[in-house]
Structure 1
Amino acid sequence: MKGSTVYQSIQKRGLHLGLLPEMAAAVNPSTPITLDHDLDALPQAGRRLTVAEFARAVDDLAARLWAAGVRPDEHIVVHKSHNADIWMLGAAASRIGAVPVMLSPALDAATVTALIQRVGRPSLLTDTAKLDAGLAAHPLADLTRRVLVVAGEHPGTTSLAGLAGSPRVRPVVRPLDEAAVITHTSGTTGLPKLVVHTPRTQGIRLLPQWRLLKLMRKKDPVAIHIPFVHSRMVAAMSLALLKELPVLLLRESDPDTVAEQFLTHRPGFVEALPNSLMDWEDLSADPRKPFASVKVFSSTFDAIHPRTMSRLLNASDRQGALFFQIYGQSEVGPAVGRAYFRNSAHKANGRCVGWAMPAGAARVRVTSRDGRPPSAHNPGFIEVAWDGLAKTYFAEQDRYDTNRNGDWWRTGDVGYRTRLGCLHMLDREVDMIAGVRSSLEVEDVVLGRLSELSELVVVPGPGDEPVPVICTTDDTPLDTARWRAAVTDFPQLAEPVQIPQAELPRTATLKVQRIALARHLQERLADTA
């Protein structure tokens, strides 16, 4: 069976996570999947599997879930320690017709408990580490149908390890427009929202990215470093496996560890979180050249700075290497995109996040916030429309409806479109600061001028003045003279505040929680006043 044939079937029948491994094995059972870690749920599986072995492992886990009592139409919250088996367990739950609710390992126990309450007595699939870290202190017996752990033993739970060898179960296919997978938003403004994806919406989202992978003339390995719980992970794995591309699944983000993996497996395509790519920038100077084999870098989730793209592209030895940025969010999938190239990325306008993708992909518009036409100096609301929009927020339909206007979804970002149609995203609406056209633009420019900065975030201070919060490589003290020279174009900025990078509050996708950072900054400045 050809990948293109399976892809066409997905466009008609939707993407069913529980069937994906089996479909990929039908395309090419020998495609390798390599891990940089052992699987908690299947420690005997090792770190290198074929797609056929991967599919059998998912089938095995599905049989264990069925034996534990999980049934079709049930919700099962998957929240365990960071590991690729999270994705496999979600696929296993989907395979028996349950609806996996994928919660990040980065969420604290109180947040997880609140989301479990929102779902309404689901099953909980976790591990002993999460239970011991605080989850067990909450009344799980009252909040859930059952608590399952992937391995080991814990009072009041059933261990999947003890159910190995359970009889296999025929797959159950979810209806095309009913909930198939539930993920959550980043939670930058409070308790995360639960985003409902259907087989139809998941399948449609593959369209623009399937075309992107046509750039891969050779079957080079694809390195994936994104949260295993994220809706983007469903698309990334689907595209790579159906294209018969070897997959390298990375859990670790430490630059030295990543360099070793890249030197060993030589990926041609890298998809990673923007902040991870930023952390890996210094590897561009590594004499071993870990990025030499990379033809395409790709990222979604958040804005990425031109400096980061330029450094990575210049570390590749591949002719025509490019960085493809996709702008979107969990609710809309990929909305617009653009490519950056080695000779121009350093001078690119980082606020230009791209153009509408080919026919059949999302439509994008910018609407007025104040009755005046949107422009660079009067940004409007960015809105997206297509059949790939998420169906709803689970148990928060009114909140979903607030952002939905017919076919159009308001993203919460503000920006404008140029005469050539390029979408410029300037800021999140909630992060706008009076007197600053775009905080993200300031960050792009200054980071490009000061190589010693590892992070820069502009947030409102106690008097709503724009305060640059900076982090430096190895926490080296900031050279104030270099700083002043770099920010001459931005006289409205207050004096910078330097903090260790480890103190930055982040979401599960490593975005800086700007509201939380502003609150932390104001408390800090109040203490020193």
Structure 2
Amino acid sequence: MPDISALKLDVVPEPTAPLGILPTVAAEKYPDTPFLSDTPWRTYDGPVRNFGEFARAIDDYADRLWAGGVRRGDVVAVVQRNHIEVEGVMCALGKIGALPALLSSAMETGELLECFARLENPYLLVDSFGLSRLVEHRYALRQLTRNVLCLEETDENWVVPLQERIAHTADPRDEDEWFVITHSSGTTGAPKMAAHSTRSLFGMVAPMIMIFRDQYSPQDLNAKHLSFVHARTCAGTLASLETAMPALAIADPDPANVKRLMLEHRPTSIETHPNVYIQWESLAHDPDRPFRHVERFISTFDAMHPRTVRTLLGASEHPRAHYFQAYGQTESGPICLRIVTREESAAYSPRNVGHSGGGMEIRIVDDNGVPQPANTPGFIETRSPGRMRGYVGGGPMPPQDSWWPMGDIGRLLDDGSLELLDRIVEHVDGVGSLLEKEDHLLEAMPELVELVLVKDEDDSSVFAVACPRPGTTPDPERFRAVAAEAGLPDLQVRFWEWEAMPVTGSYKVRRSVLRRKLAGRIQRTATARKEA
């Protein structure tokens, strides 16, 4: 397995400018660099096809926000459809010195209202989709927000449409001030709102910037379907602007749309969420070979299932095709990286998440915080340049040189790579690594597109939720046999369609929601089966 340190990431570069004005700087240097999207912008009237037009869209947003009364220091909660235009809005707010809080429109409505309350009377900025999610809560919004602004025309007389324009005054926050608030995925509970500065976003994406500069050319095209409110996407926009990397933002992940884009634009890099890659596996078998030009399949969220990695790499005809994986979290940024080549994919295990690099450090500690030797499981801690600057409503952050707990269990191997074993909140004593068992079950049952093991209400056992591939019929007996092979002979399973799974904006399964909805029901079913 290649050591990521071979990429010479030890020197972390500095940002050229605060992110609020970086689009303007990039447009002056590289106006014609492609900055594409698969679906048109709805909240801006002009075309956005390159850096120059992206900068003009940002200025237009800034003029409209200024006309709506937004000024430096104002906190603005943003709820819009999942589209790259959210990043333009973020940059516009940053340019005038406001503080955007980017909230996923996939959140439950109650969670959005809770976020508004924690932001303490922010402006609320929506598009038509965001407004449709919240329109039934207009009276709550009056109590929780300063005003509701809409980037599209609306018939709601309590909402201010931002159609007028007044020339804004640029007053961006400096590189170390809070620049944007994003939120954690909320897979195991309520999402936490984390703030990043331009410098921490830069630290988060510095390894990718170094790789762009070292390995990419202007002929490359980097296609992404991500949660556009995620810190990873904010950092990715910064990286593209810093390096003049051509970009294609994908809002619609439907395989038919993705196939069209792959054949039309022929990107050399693709990045999306692991659960989206699973949905794209069918394209790997398409006779038109839509992935044949792809050199890099990138995932910076969860590790991908081995089957999916092998399938994607097998669909590329590029001689240097590889899978690039990063492990981290919203609060820390990436802390280790891994490259898997086509030749290595047969033996790939997603439990090994790679090596640290680019100013990242990792250690494993026991319950008392004592560092552990190699090959000893414990709690993962890190120091990284991409660490957030604080939680909304949280206390002071510890010093930057202190160790940050990742909330995961793992061990460092003899070669310095990190093996990820479990999430602390999902760990069940005596069961072993749940993540490893999920890998085993999915590998053995290709008829499933997803499977998650969820800790039961009593914290002493687990149950499974499995999603059959469309067109297949689940076989409970086969499932029980494979579960027994994995060391889970009494595992109870609920088969569920993928479309019905509760997921975050980054397509991570919300295990806490599954536990709340299903744990008691599955336990009663298991009890009845035993009594019968």
| TM-score normalised by length of structure 2 | 0.90
Structure of higher RCO (CA pairs closer than 8 Å, 6+ residues apart): 2
Structure 2 vs 1, CA of residues 338 and 132 (structure 1 numbering), >3 Å: closer, same or farther?
closer
Query: For residues 20-59 of structure 1, what are the structure 2 equivalents within 5 Å?
Result: 20-42=22-44, 44-46=45-47, 49-59=49-59
1:356 equivalent in structure 2? 356
Which residue pairs with 1:150 in the alignment?
151
Cα shift at 1:246: 2.1
SS of the counterpart of 2:21?
Answer: helix
What does residue 3 of structure 1 align with?
none
Kindly provide the CA deviation profile for residues 477-506 of structure 1, in whole angstroms up to 9, marking residues without a partner as x.
224565456445423241433222223221
Q: Matches of 1:132 and 1:208 in 2, distance apart?
A: 39
- 2:491 matches 1:498: no
Residue in 2 that maps onto 1:7? none
Match of 1:519 in 2: 516
Alpha-carbon RMSD across the aligned residues, in angstroms, is 2.3
Contact (CA 8 Å) 1:433, 1:459: kept in 2 or not?
Answer: no
Counterpart code for 2:199? R
- SS for the counterpart of 1:45 is coil
Work out whether residues 103 and 184 of structure 1, in 8 Å CA contact, stay in contact via their aligned partners in 2.
yes
Q: 1:405 to 1:167 in 2, by over 3 A?
A: closer
Return the letter of the residue paired with 2:445.
Answer: L
SS in 2 for 1:89: helix
Q: Deviations over 1:327-379 (max 9, x none)?
A: 01111111100001112213212100010114xx2111111136897589963
Tell me the equivalent position of 1:507. Answer: 504
Contact 1:219 1:244 in 2 (8 A): no
The correspondence of residues 132-147 of structure 1 with structure 2, limited to 5 A, is 132-137=132-137, 138-147=139-148
String of CA shifts for 1:380-405, please: whole Å, max 9, x gaps. Answer: 1111113321111011227x66xx89
Q: What pairs up with 1:14-25 in 2 under 5 angstroms?
A: 16-25=18-27
**Structure 1 position 386 matched with structure 2 position 384:** yes
Query: 2-side partners of 1:15 and 1:432: how far apart?
Result: 43
CA distance, structure 1, for counterparts of residue 296 and residue 354 of structure 2: 16
Structure 2 equivalent of residue 239 of structure 1: 239
Larger CA deviation: 418-427 vs 482-491 = 482-491
- Structure 1 residues 218 and 95: alpha-carbon distance in aligned structure 2, compared to 1, 3 A threshold: closer
Q: Which residue of 2 aligns with 1:455?
A: 450
The letter for the 2-side match of 1:150 is: L
Identity among equivalent pairs (%): 34
Unpaired stretches in structure 2, ≥5 consecutive residues? 1-11
Structure 2 matches for 1:160-309, cutoff 5 A?
160=162, 162-163=163-164, 166-213=165-212, 214-217=214-217, 219-309=219-309
| Aligned mates of 2:431, 2:303 — CA distance in 1 | 17
Q: Residue type of the partner of 1:319?
A: P
Once residues 256 and 433 of structure 1 are traced to their aligned partners in structure 2, the CA distance between those partners, rounded to angstroms, is 40
Amino acid at match of 2:395: Q
Equivalent residues of 1:78, 1:126 under 8 A apart: yes
SS of alignment partner, residue 39 of structure 1: coil
Q: What whole-Å deviation, never above 9, does each CA across 1:312-332 have from its counterpart, x for those lacking one?
A: 111001011110000011111
- Whether the aligned pair in 2 keeps the contact of 1:386 and 1:407 (CA below 8 Å) is no
Distance in 2 (CA, whole Å) between partners of 1:456 and 1:79 is 30
- Equivalent residue of 1:195, what SS? strand
The 2-side partners of 1:370 and 1:108 are apart by 37
Structure-2 residue corresponding to 1:5: none
Deviation of 1:218 after TM superposition, in Å, equals 5.5
**Aligned partners of 2:435 and 2:304: how far apart in 1?**
9
**Alpha-carbon distance in 2 for matches of 1:496, 1:15:** 52
Q: In the TM superposition, what is the alpha-carbon distance from 1:115 to its structure 2 partner?
A: 0.8
| 1:437/1:157 CA distance change after superposition, 3 Å | same
Once residues 134 and 328 of structure 1 are traced to their aligned partners in structure 2, the CA distance between those partners, rounded to angstroms, is 32
Q: After superposition, what is the alpha-carbon deviation per residue over 1:441-483, rounded to whole angstroms, capped at 9, x for unaligned?
A: 1122222222111111112346633323211111622245654
1:135–1:434 distance in 2 versus 1, CA, 3 Å: farther
* Residue type at the aligned position of 1:413: D
Q: After TM superposition, give the deviation of residue 60 of structure 1 in Å.
A: 1.0
* CA positional deviation for 1:52: 0.3
Q: Does 1:122 align with 2:122?
A: yes
- 2:4 paired residue number: none
SS at match of 2:470: helix
Q: 1:396 to 1:73 in 2, by over 3 A?
A: same
Q: Contact 1:121/1:143 (CA < 8 Å) preserved in 2?
A: yes
- Deviation, 1:98, is 0.4
8 Å CA contact 1:125, 1:150 repeated in 2: yes
Deviates more, 1:378-387 or 1:262-271: 378-387
Conserved? CA contact 1:14–1:201, under 8 Å: no
The within-5 A match list for 1:403-442 is 407-442=402-437
Query: Is the partner of 1:208 in helix, strand or coil?
Result: helix
Please say if residues 32 and 51 of structure 1, whose CA atoms lie closer than 8 Å, have aligned partners that are also in contact.
Answer: yes
Give the secondary-structure state (helix, strand or coil) at the position aligned to 1:474.
coil
Assess if the C-alpha contact under 8 Å between 1:180 and 1:198 holds in 2: yes
AA matched with 1:498: F
Aligned 8 A contact 1:435 1:492 in 2: no
Whole-Å separation in 1 of the counterparts to 2:205 and 2:124: 29
- Please report how far the alpha carbon of residue 407 of structure 1 lies from its aligned counterpart in structure 2 after TM superposition: 1.1
Shift of 1:232: 0.7
**Change beyond 3 A, Cα 1:377–1:245:** closer
Cα contact 1:466–1:492 (8 A) shared by 2:
no
Contact between 1:369 and 1:379, CA under 8 Å: does it hold in 2? no
User: 1:517: Cα distance to partner?
Assistant: 1.6
1:148 Cα offset (Å): 0.4
SS of the residue aligned with 1:459? strand
Partner residue of 2:93? 93
Kindly indicate whether the alpha-carbon contact (under 8 Å) linking 1:62 and 1:93 is maintained by their aligned counterparts in 2: yes
- The aligned amino acid for 1:513 is R
Post-superposition offset of 1:26: 2.3
Give the counterpart of 1:476 among 454, 472, 475. Answer: 472
1:322 maps to 2:318: no
